[in-house]
Structures are given as structure tokens and as C-alpha cells.
Amino acid sequence: MSLSHPLTTTASLLALAAVGAATTAYGVMYPESQLFGSSLVAPPLPNQLALTFDDGPNPAATPRLLEVLARRKVRATFFLIGNFVRLEPALTREIAAAGHAIGNHTMSHPFLPKHSAARILSEIADANAVLEDTLGTPITLFRPPHGGRSPAVFRAARSLNLQVVQWNLIVGDWKDASVDTILSRLENGIVRNHLRRRGTNVVLHDGGQAGLGQPRLKTVEAVHLLLDRLPPDTAFVTPTGGTALWG
């Protein structure tokens, strides 16, 4: 009978641990991962574009963004932070009245996977309650802050009948990028997804987790320019329509 050398055994265990850690990190953070549960990522057709905006409502940028979208009759999706909805109920209702889809982005924008199951459920359920009390309609969409998911996040979302929505394009507009940089990243990302024969679901930001009043007018201007430059056959979609086709 042969016995494994202790050093060999230790190395094997460390390798397995590394693989497990990498797999967990993939499930938690990779936007298109389906490891821990089902997430909507992108529409199925290359000409389809889902514009989604996180971290609002923000009186410093959201009203101007609504004007830009209305001018082109574009319907978008807004993932709202519950604490900001409490402070800006009228602006929240204005987003909904314009015909945009609204989703849950937790009460305070924590990185959920590092918290207890109870805290995760509280963050999501409390935001749902604030949104539904403000709008008078059920909320069905949920985007985890930072895209962070875990089994507990999916359990909480399922218990509230929420569909998790991720993305396949993120452009770093919250990092004080210039209008030209944001626009270039948008256009290049849409082309990359088109080459993959996928539609695009892009994350943009009309607000910021630090509080109301975050400067997001560069994002708004980049969206304005993008809408003027997109091909005429671009179809604007939201996760609330034909979700069975999203992957």
C-alpha cells in the first residue's frame, strides 16, 4: 500500500481550495454567471438594447435623463435605492409615470454576499416595500448592488418573487469618466455584443450610493449622444417584456 506524502496531500488540498475559491468568486461577481441561480443578462437579438440606470432617484440628474429619453421615446429600466426613494417619492413616481420599468436596488446599496441572510432579506424586502408603497404597483425586478450574488441573495429574491437582472456591458461612468469616454465605451461594447450575436443590457448610473446630488450629467449627455448615433433599427427593450427570451 502506498501512502501519499504529506506535502503532496497538502498541495492537493490547497489546489482544491483555490479552485473552490475561484469558482465561488465567479458565481458571486461575474455578471453573466448562473452558478447560484438564474439571472437575466441580455436580450437575445443583436439589435436590441436595454438601457438600465442604477442608484437613483437623483434630483441632480434623473429629471434631465427623463427629458432625454422622452425626446426619443425610449423606455428604460431604473434600479432604485430605497433610502433615496423615501427622500424623493415624487421623482420616483415621475419615472414610473414616464413609462419606465422600475426595479429594486436594496435600501442602502451594500455588498450583499458579505452579510447575513437576515440582513440580505431585510435590505431587499424593505426596498420592495418602499417602492410598492410609493408607486402602488408590484415590483418584479431586482439588481444586486455591485452585481454581488450568493445563494442567500437568490433565496431572498425568490421569496419576494423578484427576478435578478444582471448585465453584459458596464462602462464605469461612476468613475468621473468624460462624456467622450463613456460614449466610446458604450459604442464599442454594443458592437462587441453584436458580434457575439447578443443584444446589449448596459448598466449606467443616474445616481450614486454616496447620497443624493451625485454628479451624473456626463452620463446623461453620453446617453443623449448615443441615442442620436444608434442605427435606426435599434429596438429598446426592458427585462419586463419577453423575459423568457433573455439569457
pLDDT at position 20, please?
Answer: 45
pLDDT at position 12, please?
Answer: 46
pLDDT at position 43, please?
Answer: 84
Q: Which residues pair with 164 in a beta bridge?
A: 39, 142
- Per-residue pLDDT band for 19 (boundaries 50, 70, 90) equals very low
Q: Tell me how crowded residue 143 is: count the other CB atoms within 10 A of its CB.
A: 25
Vertex 242 angle, CA 241 and 247, to 5°: 115
Mean pLDDT confidence for 102-117: 97
* pLDDT exceeds 50 at position 26: no
Higher pLDDT, 110 or 247: 110
Full set of structural domains in the chain with CATH? 39-238 (3.20.20.370)
Whether residue 54 lies in the annotated active site:
yes
- Per-residue pLDDT band for 172 (boundaries 50, 70, 90) equals very high
**Contact by Cβ (8 Å): 235, 73:** no
Q: Beta strands 235-236 and 101-104: pairing type?
A: unpaired
Candidate list 173, 205, 206, 224, residue with the active-site label: 205
Whether residue 205 lies in the annotated active site:
yes
Higher pLDDT, 193 or 18: 193
Candidate list 54, 55, 173, 206, residue with the active-site label: 54
Interval 35-81: pLDDT, tens: 879 899 998 899 999 999 999 999 999 999 999 999 999 999 999 99
- Per-residue pLDDT band for 112 (boundaries 50, 70, 90) equals very high
Stated pTM of the model:
0.87
Cell of 70: 422622452
